[in-house]
């Protein structure tokens, strides 16, 4: 364990985490040791007790009362023993243009822990004040964007999408100034690591190849240890990162998620979703859907996400070329191009696996891609809600098409596709010996509605509906009322359970609200 670090002369608080800090000790030249800013009057407004237990947090050593020790810890006022606060350096392509130095301008890596499952996890603050990478910003965050990250991240986790997670949210007792004065806040974020494509771009662009090699070897030890020591480890590492990104973006697409700012500094090496700024969930299915106020040309539209992931990987490959072939980097180009060219097929394979689950199919057949694509085309033509369209298809698997047909302005438009899907399901059941003579419900759903059960487990009913998210954030921001936030979060952490009293969280916003809805980076 590293010795306590205290950059402001304040004694560290007890060791509530068992820190094991590798980044700050092994890669000290890849950023700067830096202490979070002091919050004048911190209050803990939300704490993820289940995640804290997973991380090995000693809750008994630090009571989680609103204005007590936990508030001081998660605001950054008190640095716990064993922590090594550190601002990481990175660059990034932002909307296609390269920024050679970004870095943790409003974030601090507090330290790393080995969780109860033996996994190394970063614990970091967001909104904890200016660092040397702040580029003129105030380094602060407002309570609304902090709670947005809690809601979206926890929803993604509950839906099985790899993601960073929120551990705590603290108000600071001071305003932050955006278009208007807003309550300041700090988010505590947990990640497998905060390594990004932009981290590699930073050192590659500066020609600091020794630091780039140290970074790559560290990343391999942390995320792909089976590659350590191999002469071809860097190109294999690239392949592993590409595979994780293909799987991740496929999961986004399967739940209708639009990241909104897929810059290379928001593309993780771990394959986790990071930075829930101008993100949103699609309602009526539209491949061109864009909600980010700064994405004026639709670069990061829903349907473009796999294309942008591939583009970001190409930028990552450029950074790795001097490591793959130090004597002649250009000669490594065919090896990385092979991986880049394979990305669309790998993405499609992951996406189609997810679609099969959503459609209740357990056997892969050649026509599954057309079946899935044609259902999406129906949703688009009929302006059917993406989430409810798949969820109500599960009812059709149970023999009741009423709810699904009610979503379509022209219900008869669904009939041809439903006939194809039912025939596909019956054929699959026949191969499995599961077809029952009990009529359409048992034929489509299998004995006991097993297909419908599987589909409901794969298709959420509660997602972070944009209007419900905004209602919760407005109540917290304007009135310090966290009840709407807590109620929404309670629905999102069990997204596939259709529970009495929570029907409002499954309802889409009015079309006119969605048509004009825009999100901002916020924090």
- Grouping H, G, I as helix, E, B as strand and the rest as coil, residue 4 is coil
The DSSP bridge partners found for residue 121 are: 113
Sign of CA dihedral 4, 7, 13, 17: negative
Kindly report the backbone phi and psi dihedral angles of residue 259, in degrees, each rounded to the nearest multiple of 5, phi listed first.
Answer: -65, -45
Residue listed under structure tokens 């100034």: 177
Catalytic residue positions, numbered: 265
Stretch (H or E) spanning 114: strand 107-114
Stretch (H or E) spanning 124: strand 120-126
Distance, CA of 220 to CA of 65 (rounded, Å): 40
Kindly report the backbone phi and psi dihedral angles of residue 362, in degrees, each rounded to the nearest multiple of 5, phi listed first.
Answer: -115, -5
Distance, CA of 268 to CA of 37 (rounded, Å): 26
CB 31 within 8 A of CB 103: yes
CB 171 within 8 A of CB 208: no
- Grouping H, G, I as helix, E, B as strand and the rest as coil, residue 45 is strand
The DSSP secondary-structure symbol of 361 reads: -
**Tokens, residue 500:** 């009495």
Distance, CA of 368 to CA of 310 (rounded, Å): 24
**DSSP output for 488-503:** HHHHHTSTT---TT-G
The DSSP bridge partners found for residue 46 are: 169
**Tokens, residue 249:** 């973006």
- Grouping H, G, I as helix, E, B as strand and the rest as coil, residue 440 is helix
């Amino acid at each position: 364990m590293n010795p306590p670090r205290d950059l402001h002369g304040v004694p560290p608080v007890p060791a509530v985490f068992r820190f094991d800090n590798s980044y700050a000790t092994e890669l000290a030249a890849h950023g700067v040791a830096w202490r979070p800013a002091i919050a004048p009057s911190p209050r803990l407004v939300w704490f993820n007790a289940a995640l804290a237990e997973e991380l090995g947090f000693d809750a008994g050593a630090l009571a989680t009362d609103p204005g007590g020790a936990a508030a001081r810890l998660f605001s950054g006022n008190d640095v716990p023993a064993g922590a090594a606060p550190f601002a990481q350096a990175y660059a990034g392509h932002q909307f296609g243009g390269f920024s050679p130095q970004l870095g943790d301008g409003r974030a601090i890596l507090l330290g790393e822990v080995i969780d109860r499952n033996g996994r190394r996890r970063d614990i970091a603050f967001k909104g904890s004040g200016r660092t040397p990478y702040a580029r003129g910003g105030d380094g602060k965050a407002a309570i609304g964007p902090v709670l947005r990250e809690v809601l979206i991240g926890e929803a993604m986790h509950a839906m099985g999408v790899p993601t960073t997670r929120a551990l705590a949210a603290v108000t600071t007792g001071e305003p932050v100034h955006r278009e208007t004065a807003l309550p300041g806040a700090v988010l505590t974020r947990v990640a497998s690591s905060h390594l990004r494509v932009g981290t590699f771009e930073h050192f590659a662009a500066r020609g600091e190849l020794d630091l780039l090699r140290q970074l790559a070897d560290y990343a391999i030890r942390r995320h792909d240890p089976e590659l350590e020591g191999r002469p071809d480890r860097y190109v294999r590492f690239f392949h592993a990162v590409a595979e994780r990104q293909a799987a991740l973006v496929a999961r986004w697409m399967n739940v209708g998620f639009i990241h909104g700012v897929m810059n290379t500094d928001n593309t993780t090496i771990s394959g986790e979703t990071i930075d829930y700024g101008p993100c949103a969930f699609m309602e009526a299915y539209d491949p061109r859907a864009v909600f980010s106020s700064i994405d004026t040309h639709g670069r990061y539209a829903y349907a473009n996400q796999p294309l942008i992931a591939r583009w970001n990987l190409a930028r990552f490959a450029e950074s790795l070329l001097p490591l793959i072939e130090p004597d002649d980097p250009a000669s490594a180009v065919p090896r990385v191009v092979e991986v880049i060219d394979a990305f669309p097929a790998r993405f499609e394979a992951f996406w189609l696996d997810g679609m099969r689950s959503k459609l209740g199919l357990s056997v892969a057949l050649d026509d599954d891609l057309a079946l899935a694509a044609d259902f999406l085309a129906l949703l688009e033509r009929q302006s059917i809600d993406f989430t409810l369209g798949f969820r109500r298809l599960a009812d059709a698997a149970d023999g009741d098409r009423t709810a699904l047909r009610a979503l379509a302005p022209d219900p008869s438009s669904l009939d041809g596709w439903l006939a194809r899907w039912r025939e596909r399901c019956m054929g699959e059941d026949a191969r499995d010996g599961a077809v029952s003579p009990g009529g359409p419900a048992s034929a489509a759903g299998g004995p006991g509605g097993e297909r419908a059960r599987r589909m409901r487990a794969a298709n959420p009913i509660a997602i972070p509906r944009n209007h419900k998210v905004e209602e919760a954030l407005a109540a917290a921001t304007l009135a310090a009322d966290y009840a709407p936030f807590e109620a929404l979060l309670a629905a999102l952490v069990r997204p596939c359970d259709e529970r009495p009293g929570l029907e409002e969280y499954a309802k889409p916003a009015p079309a006119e609200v969605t048509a004009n809805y825009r999100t901002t980076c916020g924090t």
